[in-house]
Each structure stands twice: as structure tokens, then as C-alpha cells.
Structure 1
Amino acid sequence: MRRPTAGPAPQIVRQKSDWQVLRTLLPYLFEHKARVALALLMLAAAKGANVGVPLVMKAIVDRLAPGAVAQQSAATVAIVVPAALLVGYGLLRLATTLFTELREFVFARVTQGAVRKAAIEVFRHLHALSLRFHLERQTGGVTRDIERGTRGIQSLVSYTLYSILPTLIEFGLIIGILVARYDPWFAGITVVALVLYIGWTISVTEWRTGLRRTMNELDSSASTKAIDSLLNYETVKYFGNEDWEARRYDESMAAWQRAAIRSQTSLSLLNTGQSAIIAMAVTAIMWRATLGVVDGRMTLGDLVLVNAFMIQLYVPLNFLGVIYREIKQSIADMDRLFGLLEQHREVADRPGAQTLAIRSRAPEVRFEQVDFGYDKTADGAHKRQILFGVGFTIAPGAKLAVVGHSGSGKSTLARLLFRFYDVDGGRITIDGQDIRDVTQQSLRAAIGIVPQDTVLFNDSIEYNIAYGRPGASHDEIVAAARAAHIHDFIAGLPDGYATVVGERGLKLSGGEKQRVAIARTILKNPAILVFDEATSALDTRSEQAIQRELKAIASDRTTLVIAHRLSTVVDADEILVLDKGRVVERGGHAALLALGGLYAQMWALQGAERAVAA
């Protein structure tokens, strides 16, 4: 079976502006508008209580100052201050924590709901993309993009709601209090420091974002190499290329290491600049406060208040660089995730597509002058055309076989029938319905296939057989296994039908995997059957037994058989011989032998091979 030549990996991401990415995210969050509004209300309440704590602390300090104590009775100091101010101080502390936790409780469903919806939407879209995309994609890179993107949504929402917005609200409240109650210098120093801090953070972080993006790309590249190598474990072992694979992986990791070192160095520069700006601002503000106390314009409580405000404001600001960097990284990761949703669905249901209507148990299948090629260029031409005006009809309940040399286009017929690709010319119909006019779901529900290369899920044998019809009973699964002559083998295993087959079914032999695929198709019970070299991995004895079973289950169905071994198709109602994408001969087995053409040559060649093997 010849596969289409894979071109370069598709460009998954088109980098968009931060605001474009955020606008893409907003609909996922605003599905819970009431919760968002309530969380913001809790956020404002928590920050209001937090700003109130230094105000109460100022009142406590002023009441306990030596001059104030001298003017009050001991009873007043001992009772009123603890009973009123200290209790209020404690309540404000509690309120800050309480409203913060309530905010997280209310917003948790919003965040997790957005992550879940985005992930399932991308997952569904990936399954909706054409086979061409999946043959060209790099699985490791795509899975990392999904993983990072969903994590990026959580991080962005967390940092924005729990760090950025609270800091901005608190900053606004503090500036308002400083302007209303104190020397304008305090507010001026705070604003200037904040502007310098944000300016430094953004400028350095923008530079660092490029370094982080390079790190991500190198990380994805290394992951892709590792996953691809592990998936091809047997091939690596066959050729003894463990060291070669390790060197390839190490080269990617070395490039990632260099990028990571540059990123860490730039982070140190960012943190140093931030600390310098904060230190200078706090020093200047405390100097002005100290002068105010010395001059008698401010009390000790005012000094404590200003100092507490600065600590409350600049401690979260000290993490602004990290937060801003993580937000930028989260946006970049989300861009890659949402970029997957922008991948063009090459094969999509037409508007108003109807469910495939099969008029009888065995429908008619017709290929009408079908042209098709892989690897389209920008102008729509093909680098390699596979089929040239192929036309044939499979009568209801008939068995049609397609034979030919490798690369002649045999397996492409099955892909087109399943509509993994759309034809470039002509059309394919089932009971007179163009398959492009019906839903893909109904089309594929009507067709069952036993492929040449059977890939199984890393799950139990029972799960893999039941995949043909999810929800089937155990007895139905066993009956299908019996029909595929694999029940005795399964029953002899220690875990029976619960035996896990391993990654891609590698714990089973090729013949065992193929019989599982046959059982799966039998369980599906489709109206149209496609056998793509269905017994190629079986020994002669098993092949003969399976052929009898395949013939039995195909007796009342429309069947397309793609074969290399001509001995498996001698009973077909019609045999097509493909050569370089064209039908060069057609007819029954005896008629084609009598013709003395390509089929006869292939039959003679395979007969000689069988004689030698015997």
C-alpha cells in the first residue's frame, strides 16, 4: 500500500496580536457571566478590606502613641482600643481572606469550564481535519501545543483575576488615599515608580518573549523526535540505531539548553532592574514620611500607614515581571491552541448535507471517471496524480476486486470511498447519492474496512473489538471473535478478553492484529465492506479459513476487495487491474487469464513464487 508523500509539516500557528487571542478566549469565559460578575465583586471587596487594614493599624498606633496615652485613662487604653480597633483589624484580615477564597470558589467553574470547552473543541476539530493533515502533522508537537494551550488558559485567568486586577484596584485605592490625606509627593513618587516599573518590565519581557518562543519551538521539536522514535521502537532496534536516535534527541536538547540559558540570564536582568526601582521608590517615600513626622505634619500612625501601603503595593509588584512574562507566555500558548482551530477542514459536510439513505441491504457503489492526486500546489495542480478517470460499478451484493502493482492507486480508492479526501474530478455515488452531498458520519457508518496495516488502541482486546460498535454486549463481541477465528487464541490468554494489546497493538502478532480488525468489522455489521489486503499478515492455513469467513459475511453485502495476492480474489464477480492510476483490464478471473495481459503476467509470476516457496 503506497502512502501519499508527506510534505513539510503544516504551519499550525499564525501569530496574532495579544488582543486578538484574548478576544478569542472571552466567549469561553462569558458563558458564565453571573459568576464572572460575582467574582469581580468579591475581588473588589477583598481589596477594600485589605486597604482598610493599614488604616486601622494607623488608628491603633496613634491611640497608643505616648502623647495620646497620656491624655487617656488606663481603662480607655486597655478596653476601648482592643475591643474596637483590634477586633476591627482582625475582622478586616479575615474578610480579606474570606472574600479572596469566595472569589476563587465562584470563578473555579468558569476557568475549568473554559479549559474543558476549548480542549474538546480542538480535539473534535483535529478529528474533523482531513487525512492529509494527519499524515503531515507531527503528533508530539501538536499534543504539546494542546497541553500548553489549555494550561495557558488556566494561567492567564489565574494571573489576571488573582494578581493583575487586584493589584490595579489596590493601587487605585491607595493613590486615592494618599492624594486625599497627604503630601502630593507621596502619590507622585508612587505613580512615577509604577510607570518606570511597568515600562521596564514590559520592555524587557517583550525581548524575553522571543527567547521563550524559541525555547518552546525547540522543546516541541525535541518532544516530536522522542515520541516518533519511541513509536518506532522496533525499527530502531532492527537497525541498531539507539545511539543515532539518542544523538538526534541530544542535539535538540542542546539547542533547547542554550535557549534556556539565554532566557534565564535575561530573567536575572529583569529582576535586578525591578528591585532597583522598588528600592528607590520605597526609600524616597519613607524619607518624605520621616520628614513629615519630624515636622509634626504626620503622626507615627501616618508613618506606619504609608509604610504598610508601600509594602502591600510593591510586594505584588515585585512579581509583576514574572506574572507579565507568564501572561505573555500563556497568550502565546493559547495562540498555538486556537491556531489549531483555524486549520482548514479540507473535507467538510456541505450545508444541508443529508443522511446517507441506503435503499437495500446491499447498496450500489459507483466510481464515475474519478481523478485524484496528492500534494496540491498553490495553483491547485498536483505534484503527483494518482488516479486518471477511474470508473466502475459494484452492483448490489456483488464483490469487486482491484489488483495491481504497488503504487497503482488501489488503496486510494478506499480512502476516497471513506471520503478521507474529496475527488478532483468525477464523483463517487452510493445508491445514486454523491457522497459529497451526505454527512460523513452516515457515510462511514455504512462502510466497514479491514485495513492492511491494523493499528490498535493501547487497551484490552475486548475494547478494540467493541470499537466497531461501541456498546455491544460481551456475547456479541465473542461471536464476532469466533467468526474471525481469534476466540480460541483470546480464551487461551491469562487475562482473556481483558488482555491489553500495548501501544499500537505491538503485543500481538501481525496476523492476530488483523483478525482483531476483522472481528471489529464483523461486529460493526456494515452494508458495504472494504478488504484492503485483509489477509496479508496471515499464514496460508489461517488465510484460507479467514477467506471462507470473509466470503460468508460478504455474501449479502456490497464488497470492494483490494488485493495483491491474486489467489484471494479468483471468486470475485469482477476484477479490475490498475496500472499507474488507470484501469487497464477488467473482467472475471478466467477471462483475464485468457486475455493474456497484465493480470495473466501477475498470476504467472505469483504462481512461480508459490512454487518456489513450496
Structure 2
Amino acid sequence: MRSLARILRSASALWPFYLGVILTSIVVAGLGLVSPFILREATDTIVAAVGGDVAAGSVTRTIVLLAVGLLIADLATTVMTNLGGYIGDVMAARMRQILSTRYYAKLLALPQRYFDRQSTGTVIARLDRSITSVTQFLQSVSNNFSPMVVTVIAVLIITGWYYWPLTILLASIFPIYMWLTAKTSVKWQALEAEKNEQVDLAGGRFAEVVGQVKVVKSYVAEIRELATFGGRYGRTVKTTRGQSRYWHQMDSLRGGAMNLIFFGIYLVLFYRTLHGYFTLGDMVMLITLVNMAKQPVFMMSFLVDAAQRAIAGSRDYFNVMAEDFEPTANQQLIAATESSDQPALTDHAPTPLPVTEPVIGFDGVSFSYEEGEPVIREVSFTAARGQRIALVGESGGGKSTLVNLILGLYQPDEGSLEICGRDVRDLSAAQLRASVGVVFQEASLFSGTIRENITYGRPGATDAEVIGVAKRANAHAFISAFPDGYDTVIGERGLRLSGGQRQRVAVARAMLKDAPVLILDEATSALDTRSERAVQAGLEELMVDRTTLIIAHRLSTIADVDTIVTLENGRVDEVGSPAELATSGGIYSQLLALTASSDAADRKRLKQFGLVSDIPAEDDPEDSEEQL
């Protein structure tokens, strides 16, 4: 229960709702207690009239008034119950808003390492399960259980006033029930964790398959994926059998204990009424009160089950919230993870750093994703303003790792890395990434319009600025050909555009960002020859007056760079101009020879470097300039 209490404390802004739930619960409980007393008076009055102690006509008005009193109490109870339910529903919705926002803010502020070991589906499944289970439990408590708890306390006080052994019997239900529940809890939660693991794995794979459904279909893997997915949920069914069997066995013990105690309560009431200690009206009232206390006990099984799910779910939530922040995370994000209310966020495009030499500077940089397994070792090179640097080396040789370091997704283990003359350790994530533009091999567009994607880095850009960068990126013509132009909705990941179109939109997006440092990470490797030429024209415009780091898939695309840095086994092998390295006998000169060859073995060797032959490939007709 500490997890639930921690959530309630963290959402302290909801205190008016907590207070509202408590007050309405007290009122509902009080109104509920009116009925047993009215029933007592009505019973004793009717018994007296039937027994001839009073004339029936003389008490008719009294009986009518008592019935009206019951009606008023019931109507008031209905109104207050629904008012409390409304407060509880809004409280649960606000709780979901706060917890979801804090979770999202935490994810956005986590380092890249966290996402390297998670799948998207798992992250989403944890959010849904954790917060849904907590909010559903709170709704149940506020709408149903809170009034009943107040009622039980009042019933215990009233029965103690009439006959204290009744209170002892009634009160004994709760510790017995909770003791048996505590014995159930540990095993139940362990089994629930096993189920959650399978659900997370299934959800993660589900998200991957949906996101790459073309690959699944092209490899005729639908049945295999479905079998794996169903198998994971099959394992949850197997676990549920044992979990549910155990739970209901213990619940039968709880229910049996409660049945025995209520047997004793009814026996005491019947005996004392029979021997004149209670009037018939007293007995009716006390039975009604006892049954009012009985309902929360019956509901306790459901609420304990909901509480167990909430506790298990909140554990996943707090595990994520306990992760360390990215060292350079935005302070607004960090504050949002601790806010007990909807945070006030100020979204503004950060200003790039002033260009100072070296614009890019690696000095003895070493880095490893896993401790003891270095990917790059003592890398040193610099890039000046307006200079174009190409990285060449085998796949897995550290080229993309250097890009990740420049983007601040990871910090160097050793050495120093400078961007615009500033050590990246002294920069916030916003300062660093505002100064670096990037065009990846995959365009990575968002669902929405073309305009929204181009302005992603500068949401306040004018139409003239958007059109200007689109023209320079060689994208304006095909965008204008669409019926809705720049307001064309392109679908998830921009799948309604061809590969070349998506990449030109990405180039326009990078142009509009206008960062002094540019990274081209195999930006044209996935395109056919015609689309590559169109995109390359846009890239040439983009590189003007920028310091550019290029990872290319064809050596011909880096023939005009200023400097080539070759990497071998994570170390810098050579640094020099294309002309110098072409005759040095090193990696670059060897690759030039391989590129000119049509031999199958040479082509295979090229692929180890992530390169393809410069012999043009045929255009892909599916990547043509077709409209939506």
C-alpha cells in the first residue's frame, strides 16, 4: 500500500478532490444510518398498533411521516452518492493526467541508454497498465468504499452502544480478513509480475510488427508472429489458472470466516430479542445496520484485488521514475516529473551556439556502450567552420557512435568533445542539439502535415520561410502538386510519401533549423539513383556555410569533401584530403579500387564498409514522383 500512498502524496494538488470524497462519504454514511432508525420506529409503532396497545388510526400519520422520512433520506443519499461519484471520477481523470504527464516527462528526460534496452510496446504497456490500475482503484475507493468505511465505523459505535459483544464480533471480521489477504498478497503479486512480463513482451513485439508490417508480410512471417504473440498470452492464461485458484481458495477461507462470525451475530440478536433485551424494532434496526457493515466486507475482496493490481502496476511506474535523468536533460522536463499538477511549460526554439573554433573537436575520445567493450578508442580530429568531413570505415567501426556523441545522446568515457568551441559536458541538451542539424538514412517523419514536419524544429516559422527551404531542398514542386499542398497529411512516419520525397522533407526540416553543425548519416543510401540525385541537390544547398560531417554509402558522394577520416576497429587510421588519401595505400585508396571493380568478392568487401559500387543502379519505379 506504500506505493498507493506515495502516488496520493505526489498528487497533492488533488487535495480538494480528496476532501470532497471524504465529506460526501461522511454525508452518505450519515444519511444511510437514518433509515435503520426510521425502520426501528416504524416497526415498534406498527407492532404496538397490531398488538392493540394503540389505535391504528392514531399512528397512521406517524407511519406516513416515517415513510416520507425514508424517501427524503433515500433521495438525499442518491444525490450525494452521485455527487461523490462525480468528484471521484474527475479526481481519477486528473490523477491519470498528472501521472501520465510525469511518466512522459521522465521518458523524455531519460538517457538514450534506457531506450536501447527497451521496446516501444513495453514502454507503452507499462504506462497503460500502471496508471489504469491505479486510477481504477481510486475510482472504486472514492465511489464505493469510502462511504462504506465511514458507515462501518458508525455501525461499530452504534452496536457498541446497544450491546458491546456485537461490536467485538463485527470488528473481528476485519483483522481476520486482512490477515488472510496479507498471506495471499506475496504469492499473488509474484504471479502477477510473471503475467505482466509476458504481456509486456507481447506488446513490445506487437508494436514492432505493426511498425514494420511490410517486412513481416514480405517474409511471409504472419503465422509465426501470431503464434509467438498468442503463445505469450497463452502463458498468461496458464499463470492465471494457478493465480486465480490460489486467490479463490483464500477468498473462500475469508468468506467462510465471515459467514461464521455473522452466524454468531444473528444468534446473539435473535436470542436477546427473544428474551426481551431488544424490542422487535431494535432487532430490525441492528440487523439492518449489521448488513450495512456486511456489504463493505463482501466488497473488500474486489477492492483488495484492485489494490493488488494497482500496487503491482505502480511498482513498474516507480521503477521508471527512479531511473537517472540524462545528465543534460531540460530542467522543465525534470520539474515536470516532480510536479503534482499540470506543469506550465514554455516551448521555445533554443538558440544555436555562436560558431567558435573548433566547430567539431574530438580529442582522445573513447567510448563504450557496455563496460569493458570500447567501440571507439582515442579518436582525435577537428573540423573548422564551413568544412566538410567524411567518415569512412567498416560497418560497426564507430561512425554512428561518433554521431551519437555529437548529438549528446551519450557522453564520452574519456577525452573531450567540443562543439562550437564548447565542451559538450558543459552544455545542456537543448544548447547542444540546437547547434546540430541531422539528416538520417531514415527520414523519421511524424504523422501530420508536411508543414508540421518541416517546421518541427521551428514551429513559428512563416509560410515564406517554409516555402523557401522547401525550394532549396528540391521539395516545393512535388509538395505543390498535392491537392492540399503543404497541408497534406502524410500518415504515420510519412508513409504516404515516396522515399525520396520523405528525405527531401527531412532536408527542408534541417535547413529551417539552421544549425551551424550538420550531420548527414547515410542520408541517400536507401534511395534509387533518380531520387538520390534530387535529394543530393538539396543536400548541397543544406551544406552551404555549415560544418558538415558525412557518413556516405558511395565514395563518389564524398569526393568533394575537405577532409576524410578513416576509422579501423574504432581508432582513427588516416586523416587527409581525398587526393592525399587516394594514393596513401590506406583504407580509402583500397576502397576506391574496390568501388571501380565489378567483381563479386570486391562488392562483398564494400558492403562490410557500408558502401555500394558507384556503378549506377536502376531506378525504382515505386519511388517515383507520384502524388498521394
Q: TM-score, normalised by structure 1?
A: 0.88
Unaligned stretches of 5+ in structure 1? 1-17, 377-381
1:289-438 equivalence runs, <5 A = 289-349=269-329, 358-360=353-355, 364-376=359-371, 382-383=372-373, 385-438=374-427
Unaligned runs of 5+ in 2: 335-349, 599-612, 618-628
Q: Deviations over 1:468-508 (max 9, x none)?
A: 32243445434333322233333444655454444434444
The aligned residue for residue 505 of structure 2 is 516
Structure 1 match to 2:340: none
Distance 1:264 1:338 in 2: 26
SS in structure 2 opposite 1:392?
Answer: strand
User: Which of 51, 74, 80 is 2:62 aligned to?
Assistant: 80
Does 1:169 pair with 2:172?
no
Query: Could you say what the CA RMSD is over the residues aligned between the two structures, in angstroms?
Result: 2.8
8 Å contact kept, 1:356–1:439: no
Q: Deviations over 1:395-437 (max 9, x none)?
A: 1222222222222211211110110000011111123211111
What SS class does the counterpart of residue 595 from structure 1 fall into? coil
CA distance in 1, matches of 2:70, 2:486: 66
- Which stretch of the first structure deviates more once superposed, 282-291 or 129-138? 282-291
Task: Note the alpha carbon deviations across 1:420-459, whole angstroms, 9 max, x for none.
Answer: 0000111111232111111101211121100113322233
Secondary structure at 1:421 match in 2: coil
* In 1: Cα distance, 2:586 partner to 2:17 partner: 75
Contact 2:438 2:519 in 1 (8 A): yes
Structure 2 CA distance, aligned partners of 1:223 and 1:431?
42
* Cα deviation digits, residues 264-322 of structure 1 (max 9, x gap): 33344344334433433333322322222322222221121122112211122112111
Q: Structure 1 vs Structure 2: percent identity of aligned residues?
A: 29
Q: Once the 2 structures are TM-superposed, how far is the Cα of residue 363 of structure 1 from its aligned partner?
A: 7.4
- For residue 230 of structure 2, what is the aligned residue in structure 1? 250
In 1, the alpha carbon distance for the partners of 2:298 and 2:331 equals 54
Matched to 1:151, the amino acid is: T
- Label 1:361 to 1:557 Cα distance change in 2 as closer, same or farther (>3 A): farther
Alignment pair present for 1:466 and 2:466:
no
Q: 1:557 to 1:316 in 2, by over 3 A?
A: same
Worse overlay, 127-136 or 153-162: 153-162
Q: How far apart in 2 are the matches of 1:279 and 1:498?
A: 67
The amino acid across from 1:448 in the alignment is G
Amino acid of the structure 1 residue aligned with 2:289:
F
Report the alpha carbon displacement of residue 124 of structure 1 after superposing the two structures with TM.
Answer: 1.5
CA distances 1:42-73 after superposition (whole Å, capped 9, x unpaired): 22222122122211211111112145773444
For residues 148-178 of structure 1, the C-alpha deviation after alignment (integer angstroms, 9 at most, x for no partner) is 1111221232233344443332222111111
- Partner AA of 1:423 in structure 2: P
CA distance in 1, matches of 2:505, 2:516: 19
- Counterpart of 2:301, as a letter, is G
- What is the match of residue 94 of structure 1? 75
Q: Measure the CA separation in 2 of the matches of 1:279 and 1:320.
A: 14
Aligned partner of 1:41 in structure 2 is 23
Where does residue 482 of structure 1 map in the other structure?
Answer: 471
Q: Which residue of 2 aligns with 1:6?
A: none
Judged with a 3 Å threshold, the aligned counterparts in structure 2 of structure 1 residues 211 and 541 are, in CA distance, closer, same or farther, namely closer
Distance (whole Å) between structure 1 residues aligned to residue 87 and residue 330 of structure 2 = 41
Residue 357 of structure 1 deviates from its aligned partner by 6.8
The separation in 2 between residues aligned to 1:373 and 1:214, in whole angstroms, is: 32
Provide the secondary structure at the position in 2 that maps to 1:358. coil
Deviation larger for 328-337 or 162-171: 162-171
Kept in 2, the 8 Å contact 1:205–1:324? The answer is no
- Paired residue type of 1:49: L
Match of 2:10 in 1: 28
Map of 2:547 onto structure 1: 558
Say yes or no: does 1:186 pair with 2:160.
no
Please give the per-residue CA displacement for 1:111-170, whole angstroms capped at 9, x wherever unaligned: 333321221111111122222221211222221111111112212322333444433322
| 3-state SS of 2:597 partner | helix
Give the AA of the match of 1:130. P
**Segment of structure 1 superposing worse, 136-145 or 231-240:** 231-240
Instruction: Tell whether 2:526 aligns with 1:531.
Output: no
TM-score by length of 2: 0.86
| Residue 60 of structure 1: aligned partner | 42
Residues matched between the structures, number:
587
> Superposed, which structure 2 residues align to 1:112-151 within 5 Å?
112-151=93-132
Name the SS for the 2:230 alignment partner: helix
| Alpha-carbon spacing, 1:34–1:236, altered in 2? closer, same or farther (3 Å) | closer
